Structure 1
Amino acid sequence: MKLKKSDYIIIISFIASFIAAFISAAPAVALPQLANEFNLNNIMQNWVVNIFLFTVAITAVPLGKFSGKNGIKKTLNLGLILFLIGTIITTFANSYITLLIFRAIQAIGTAMIYNTQTSIVVLAVEEKNRGKALGIIISGVYIGLAIAPFISGILTYNFGWRTIFYFTIPFTLLALFLSLYKVKDEWNMYEDESYDKFGSILYMIGIFFFIYGFTILNQTKGVIFTVIGIVLLIGFAVIDLKIKNPIFDLKLFKNKRFSSSNIASLISYIATFVVTYILNYHFQYILSLNSQTTGILLVVTPVIMAIISPFSGKFSDKIDSQKLAAIGMGFVTIAVFILIFLDYSTPLWVIIIAMALQGLGYGIFSSPNTNMIMSSVPQEETPSASVSITVMRVIGQTMSLAMLTIIFSVIMGNVPIIPEYFSLLTKSSQTACIISTLLCFIAVIASLVGIGGKNDLTN
């Protein structure tokens, strides 16, 4: 069977989604080994993951405009190349600082991938099959998340943490080859528009202060930085709404379906991204399981997400996407509520049920929510819509880990994770799950807000 251009684009986007998700999640299982090699305390461990998300959040908006102006496929290729370079040099990290720097370089490539993988599918696939196609590439995300702990656990346990990064290299090369030789088209949405450099700088400085300040919000310095970030982001928004060619068109948020779906996405990531880290700490520290066994257990949630996501994406072409999203977040709320009671005596089967419910719920939620965001804007604004998905994801993920870091700081203090402090680790995890449960409930409400709003897609 001869593949069409749109088929190749779906395959490329699937692979790109897979490697980006894999590399964002895989280091979690290796954190104890990284902590041992680089002498990291509990706070420093979180920054191995945080720096990646932090960098994506800072660069996503400027790179979104860059992709629309210079070519979406070209930017995707550049992102794959930069991701490849970052992956290779990360394996040569010989200190905590070089590890963070190399992870940041890899994250810039990931931001380019995130910004373009959804846009290129929406532009290349006909509208009646769009939900199904988005479901497929989102399943790539969840397959990446699914095998990340499993593969990472096996590789880390047997060969060391650096082999996690080697694993992604052949997939990156395959996606780049297909993009270069099988897709000749290019998509330029903002080719004739000027690039708002001032807006880009203002956004990047503002989001830096806001997110970094949030990670140390329990300190006076953190409060000051967060306030500075908010003020700068408000200034960015005011300027953005007044100029002709903004770096990101905030007027899109006047669309109720677009704005409510983005808010639901942001809150859902804040609420749920931390769960994997809570369970990882619980399995490896509280239950004394090795990284390989932990990786196998952590597969449950993303495997179910990967199975459910293509079906929910297909259904979102026929059923109101926001109703599906609300139902999905309802299941997630129940799952996180169960984990509030997580401690040493919690039976493993109870934890697995909670993980399965989370996978089912998020699999139902994510594809319809993404389809709603991409389908509620004019087609020429698909790069901006794609950027909004990226920004909500990474800011939500970063704030989620920041929330855990703050909870660690308040309850545990700046200490190594050793048996003496395990009771405080459990208390920290329970506190995070209480907050996450409340946030999941808010995400359900946000998903329902846009029902009945107009779909503004034009072709």
Structure 2
Amino acid sequence: MSARRSILFVTTLASFLTPFMGSAINIALPAMGKDLGMDTIGLGWVTTSYLLSAAVFLLPFGRLSDKFGRKKIFMLGIVFFAITAFASALAGSELLLIISRFFNGAGGAMIYATAIAILTSSFPREERGKVLGINVASVYLGLSLGPTLGGLMTSLLGWRSIFALIGLLATIVIPIAATKLENDRKLSVSGTFDLSGSMIYGLSLALIIYGFPKMPGLQGLIFLLCGIAGLWLFAVIEKKAPDPLLQISSFSGNQVFIFSNLAAFINYSATFALVFLLSFYLQQIKGLSPEKTGLILMAQPVMMTLLSPVAGKLSDRLEPYVLASSGMGLTVIGLGAFSFLNPGSSITFIILLQVILGLGFALFSSPNTNAVMSSVNPSHYGIASATLGTMRLTGQTMSMGISLMMFALIMGNKGAGLENTAGLMTSIRYAFVVFALLCIPGTFFSMKRGKIRK
């Protein structure tokens, strides 16, 4: 196997693990709730704690990978990811499970921050869209297999087996990555690590993510405003710092980079909670088993897996904004249609809408990633990859935050139990309304980015 193919194989395999875990766990959430006595809001934090941690640590690890070598951070991430996955499998209470998921997110952040950067720096510009499309397809393959295997494993072996399998798969990646990835000290950049900027950034992001689900209450508003103020302070400090965590000046005039990242943030904010919500709908309202639920939820990621390499390759020839904006438009249609979901909706209707959304996601993701990575210099690949990953993870966390906010507003803390199917149905429908409306400005940002080829 050639060096480039080895790099593609290792990074693709690593990129498969995190979405596979996320989609498999979403299917197992009702079983976790029954086993550990958790309500819908607590179960939401099983997913959100992971996303929160990954979003907070992603940008610092991206900067560290540019400074000290991407292979080092990548390897450390896989090892930590495996250890914390086993810890989640052994968790005996709601608190321990959420804590282990938080640390699992830190390991995931190291993988997110380096995989795309390693891949981008290893292939010429004319092949970039193709290999990024393959990498994105591996993400969607994980999303495809997660519901099916997760549902089957939950029914036969229990929800803990999912975490154990993830730990084993990550362990298998470790020796392959250690032998196949080249040391990249020549890519490292000079300067000191911006510890104070990293702390302000992480704390601000955590306040926003933690406070958003508590809106519109006073406590949520206070957390949200403090987080926004912290990000403003972070931006001010970074402009004056000699070696900043994020070189804002380098990207401030880069319209493609800015609007592509904004589009990614909105896209993931509007779409990530889809499987989370449909898992509850199919199991708690329709009364389906985890296995049947997993099979139904395969429709969307299968479409993404099949079409992402095609969309990525097309973005090497066509302007990414054309493909990505078309995908965002399809997403608006699919999410809007899901807002009409009710207890009597047919399975055919649900599968059809997933196919539409799968096509929209595929047209958006690979071309958008290609646009971001093609808009910066090679020396900034690590921080560009981490910035895009931060938009993705922050968007995913916001998506969960919107869902949890709907649960809290409509069901309340006392009525958030899984048995409240009427409140659950109403919460799901209102969440889809918000997501569809959110995607409309995302389509504008996607079109606004402009061309990457002059």
Pick the TM interval, shorter chain.
Answer: over 0.9
User: What pairs with 1:169-188 in structure 2 (closer than 5 Å)?
Assistant: 169-187=167-185
1:137 aligns with 2:135: yes
SS of 1:26's equivalent in the other structure is helix
Question: Aligned ranges for residues 274-423 of structure 1 at < 5 Å?
Answer: 274-414=273-413, 415-419=415-419, 421-423=420-422
Give the aligned partner of residue 96 of structure 2. 98
The answer (yes or no) to whether the contact 1:8–1:178 under 8 Å persists in 2 is no
Render the CA deviation track for 1:277-323: whole Å, top value 9, x for unaligned: 12111100110001111111111101110110011001111100111
The answer to whether the Cα contact below 8 Å between 1:324 and 1:364 also exists between their aligned partners in 2 is: yes
**Structure 2 SS opposite 1:337:** helix
Mapped to 2, the partners of 1:418 and 1:178 lie a distance apart of 42
Q: 1:152 to 1:253 in 2, by over 3 A?
A: farther
1:171-320 pair list within 5 angstroms: 171-187=169-185, 189-251=187-249, 252-320=251-319
- Residue aligned with 2:287, SS: coil
1:338 shift after superposition: 1.0
Q: Distance in 2 between matches of 1:454 and 1:210?
A: 36
| Cα deviation, residue 41, structure 1 | 1.1
Who is 1:431 aligned against?
A: 430
Contact 1:24 1:52 (C-alpha < 8 Å) held by counterparts: no
Q: Is 2:32 the partner of 1:34?
A: yes
State the match for 2:107 in structure 1: 109
Q: C-alpha separation between the residues in 1 aligned to 2:374 and 2:268?
A: 21
Q: Distance in 2 between matches of 1:188 and 1:95?
A: 46
Tell me the distance in 2 between the aligned counterparts of 1:418 and 1:454: 51
**Are the structure 2 counterparts of residues 448 and 381 from structure 1 closer, same or farther at C-alpha, using a change threshold of 3 Å?**
same
What is the letter of the counterpart of residue 145 of structure 2?
Answer: I
Q: Which runs of 5+ in 2 are unaligned?
A: none
Q: Secondary structure of 2:90's partner?
A: coil
Determine the structure 1 residue equivalent to 2:62.
64
For residues 432 and 160 of structure 2, what CA distance do their matches in structure 1 show? 31
Task: Report what 2:50 is aligned to.
Answer: 52
Other structure's SS at 1:254 match: coil
* Distance in 1 between residues matched to 2:287 and 2:385, nearest whole Å: 41
Q: Distance in 2 between matches of 1:216 and 1:76?
A: 34
1:208, CA displacement in angstroms?
A: 1.2
Cα offsets for 1:99-144 (capped at 9, x unmatched): 1111112111100000000000011111111110101111111001
Distance, in Å, in 2 between the alignment partners of 1:91 and 1:452 is 46
What is the deviation of 1:191? 3.4
- State the secondary structure of the residue aligned to 1:184: coil
Alpha-carbon distance, 1:386 to partner: 0.4
C-alpha contact (below 8 Å) 1:323/1:451 kept by paired residues: no
Report the residue type matching 2:304 in the other structure. M
Cα drift, residue 182 of structure 1? 1.9
Cα drift, residue 174 of structure 1: 3.2
Question: How far off is 1:417 after superposition?
Answer: 3.4
Please show how residues 13-24 of structure 1 align to structure 2 within 5 Å.
Answer: 13-24=11-22
Residue 91 of structure 1 aligns to a residue whose secondary structure is helix
Partner of 2:165: 167
Does the Cα contact within 8 Å between 1:325 and 1:369 map onto a contact in 2? yes
How far does residue 453 in structure 1 lie from its aligned partner after superposition?
A: 6.2
Q: Distance in 2 between matches of 1:187 and 1:436?
A: 43
**Counterpart Cα distance in 1 of 2:152 and 2:57:** 32
1:331 to partner: Cα distance: 1.2
- Say if 1:323 and 1:425 are closer, same or farther in 2 by CA, change over 3 A: same
- In the TM superposition, residue 397 of structure 1 has moved relative to its aligned partner by 0.5
Q: 1:188 to 1:108 in 2, by over 3 A?
A: farther
> How many angstroms apart in 1 are the aligned matches of 2:348 and 2:432?
18
Quote the offset at 1:454 in angstroms. Answer: 6.6
Contact 1:146 1:302 in 2 (8 A): yes
Aligned to 2:151: 153
- The answer as to whether partners of 1:142 and 1:305 remain within 8 angstroms in 2 is yes
Structure 2 Cα separation of the partners of residues 352 and 188 of structure 1: 48
Is residue 64–residue 383 contact of structure 1 (8 Å, CA) maintained in 2?
yes
The secondary structure found in structure 1 opposite 2:272 is: helix
Corresponding letter in the other structure for 2:423: L
Secondary structure at 1:192's aligned position in 2? Answer: coil
Distance 1:113 1:388 in 2: 13
Partner of 2:123 in structure 1?
125
User: Secondary structure of the equivalent of 1:345?
Assistant: coil
Q: Aligned partners of 1:116, 1:253: CA distance in 2, in Å?
A: 23
| Aligned 8 A contact 2:83 2:167 in 1 | no
Find the aligned partners of 1:425 and 1:168 in 2 and give their Cα distance. Answer: 30
Cα distance, 1:231–1:171 mapped onto 2, change above 3 Å: same
**CA distance 1:452–1:267, shift in 2 (3 Å):** same
CA deviation after TM superposition for structure 1 residue 171, in Å = 2.9
Deviation at 1:244, TM superposition (A): 2.5
TM-score under structure 1 normalisation?
0.96
The 3-state SS of whatever aligns with 1:194 is coil
Q: Distance in 2 between matches of 1:189 and 1:211?
A: 33
8 Å contact kept, 2:82–2:168: no
Question: How many angstroms does 1:254 deviate by?
Answer: 2.3
Which amino acid in structure 1 is aligned with residue 220 of structure 2?
G
- Cα distance in 2, alignment partners of residues 265 and 272 from structure 1: 11
2:35 is equivalent to residue 43 of structure 1: no
Q: What one-letter code is carried by the residue in structure 1 that aligns with 2:15?
A: S
Between the two proteins, the alignment pairs up a number of residues equal to 452
Q: What amino acid sits opposite 2:48 in the alignment?
A: N
The whole-number CA distance in structure 1 between the counterparts of 2:198 and 2:186 is: 19
Residues 89 and 102 in structure 1, CA contact (< 8 A), matched pair in contact too: yes
Q: Which runs of 5+ in 1 are unaligned?
A: none
Structure 2 length-normalised TM: 0.97
